[in-house]
Structure 1
């Protein structure tokens, strides 16, 4: 499919490059991508199934985990199949609307992921700091309200970014030098003033990842403070925090590295930036089920029962 690059125009489709500079290695690069995606999808579906069929796991902590697993599956599915089609079949074309939808889902699911991690930190804080009131504070109604808030937040913050892109009068090219429709990668193609888009992108990133990260760090500061002051019996409860800490470090560590390297690592080749962007979205959904499966004894026990039963 031909590309358009000579003059300003309004494209009906975009062309994804994949990983620029490594096009001849796409087949080999697709192998770890495909394996990681398969493990992520299977692992998260397994976690959701185990929690659904095991009455012992029908607790707020595991309800949050099942929602995180569902979101992880949707997040990696929102972009990985298209990346693999680029790698395997050189199917680089994506419609303008399809590109905006992919962008919306990727950034929305990332926002929701961050919200769920914040909720899980709050859940562990209440379980340790105020265990006697835990069941009266962390209720099904509260969980439902939090889910609605995170869904609305994603739509309200991510939606305007797409509307501004849609309102661009023209684009310099339709070639996206990325493996998926990332916000700034598309904005840079516009033949117009993009300062508002750049500022809005930074504002959304700070509002979602920045605020959530600060609140999670605050929660764990209070958790550590409570654990050191409370009887040693509650140290056992603190052990339930370790899977969440590992997941939290995985997600935000990769997010911050990708964000900082993209803006300040000017000497890093574009291909490395894009690979790290892909890893940031794909690896945490694969790691999360492994972390919770290994670190959480109840999940291991229930999974063992299901496997042995069959």
Structure 2
């Protein structure tokens, strides 16, 4: 594991950009960017268009290492190039730490949660991630209801996979998202925190993880997790909140930094001039950085 990247993620003042929309979410991401579905006719063309979008973001002067600590990539993005370099190499040369989304999507809802689908090729993906100089990984589950057995299953699965990732010398980002529209969101967060703490307390001193969580209903509800010695960093997803709303909620949580996707790219459009695009991205980056670093 790269020690300078480890130190940057642990101690840096900034946030992590999420650029990991995959197959199912790609058409929506492109549509929001101003590229309708009739602009491409095959899946390959769709992924070409989304890589063009990501390339435009990553190469923008607004996408800078002073405010952005890391970026989460989709698997195809890892294997593609930006200006003649593999994406992770391009990011690293820019001073931004590369992560990779490794999950294969969500299973059907059961016991108030959605577990991850089986990751049948995980070992091969982790091998390739090391080959492509990826620092860490990310995997997502979703919690809809405060069902204790369901939440326990989510956390157990996440830590089981995380163990394999740690053994491959990569840093896992564990993402058990709590649906922000859940009626009993705060109760789900309490159960989730307790289940995560059990696993963290069982980790040996030489193993660390990161957590990616929905911004909690009660400010600083994840203080114990943020301060746990086995947790490198806790980052927050925007989860459907607008950027302004997500930023305001984030400011109330000390030690919690952003890892936003839609909230980062919401004002970007394929039809913007480079000047307009860079200015819109600059405004987004500055506001998210401010919310991650300056707390109420």
Whose RCO is larger (CA < 8 A, sep 6+)?
A: 1
- Shorter-chain TM-score bucket reads under 0.3
* Bigger strand fraction: 2
* Bigger helix fraction: 1
Question: Could you say which structure has the larger radius of gyration?
Answer: 1
Instruction: Using structure 2 for the length normalisation, give the TM-score.
Output: 0.26
